[in-house]
Amino acid sequence: MQWLRSLVFIIQMYLMMALMAVFFTPWALVDRRGAFAAVHTYCRWVRWTASWMVGLRSEIRGEVPTGEVLIAAKHQSFFDIIMIVSVVPRPRFIMKASLKWAPILGWYATRIGCVPVDRGKRAKAITQMVEGVNNSAHGGGQLIIYPQGTRVAPGVRTAYKIGTGILYEKTGQACVPAATNVGVFWPRHGILRKPGLAVVEFLPVIEPGRRTAQFMIDLEEMVETASNRLMAEAGFEGEE
């Protein structure tokens, strides 16, 4: 029964994505505020429908960043993206370049100022990322990056990539780490969505000025420790 509820939830989630995209496009074409209104409305819709359709409640903890900051977030599934975008006022992501061509998502991502980066050689990708941030016509807001570069299942250790540290150094912005446990309930792949309380927690700010190497050590320690705590709170006991 939970699997069927999950299937219905996913179907309506993508159907609503298409409907909202059409509805907001005229406004978004002439004013970026329309694009932000679209992504905020959609993400809040997904959180609300998840709570009563599959029993997956969601909660934001910590102080929500509202200024020009770098958010370095743990990434476990699509739902942590949904949760962050639902609350920060001007979200934009470092995203893989192929997403530019994704229906609906690609155009709206470009409209809100996301920075596409080709995956490949590390040096080239880092250069492209820094240039994309510096040259973006839609700067400002909350720049969101996933330090591990991909979705990581609960209990799995994946290295933090130096690109986050370089971006922290080059932008001179404060960094807000973000932890989560959403992968316990919403996996990277598959249909089943489990009931429970999904949490994204914004952690204390890392101010500008730290050496890149020390920043990376501090960031990983903060995010992994907090994420492990949240996953244990959700009943996660080991690798899935």
Please give the pLDDT value at position 240. Answer: 46
Q: CA-CA distance, 234 to 199, in Å (whole number)?
A: 9
Q: CA-CA distance, 29 to 69, in Å (whole number)?
A: 26
User: Per-residue pLDDT for the chain (240 aa), expressed as one digit of tens each?
Assistant: 999 999 999 999 999 999 999 999 999 999 999 999 999 999 999 999 999 999 999 999 999 999 999 999 999 999 999 999 999 999 998 888 777 777 788 889 889 988 888 766 566 667 667 766 766 655 678 999 999 988 999 989 899 999 899 999 988 999 999 999 999 999 988 999 999 999 999 999 999 999 999 999 999 999 999 999 999 999 998 654
Cβ atoms within 10 Å, residue 137: 5
Please give the pLDDT value at position 110. Answer: 86
pTM for the model stands at: 0.92
Please give the pLDDT value at position 170. Answer: 87
H-type helices in 59-142, by residue range?
78-87, 105-111, 122-135
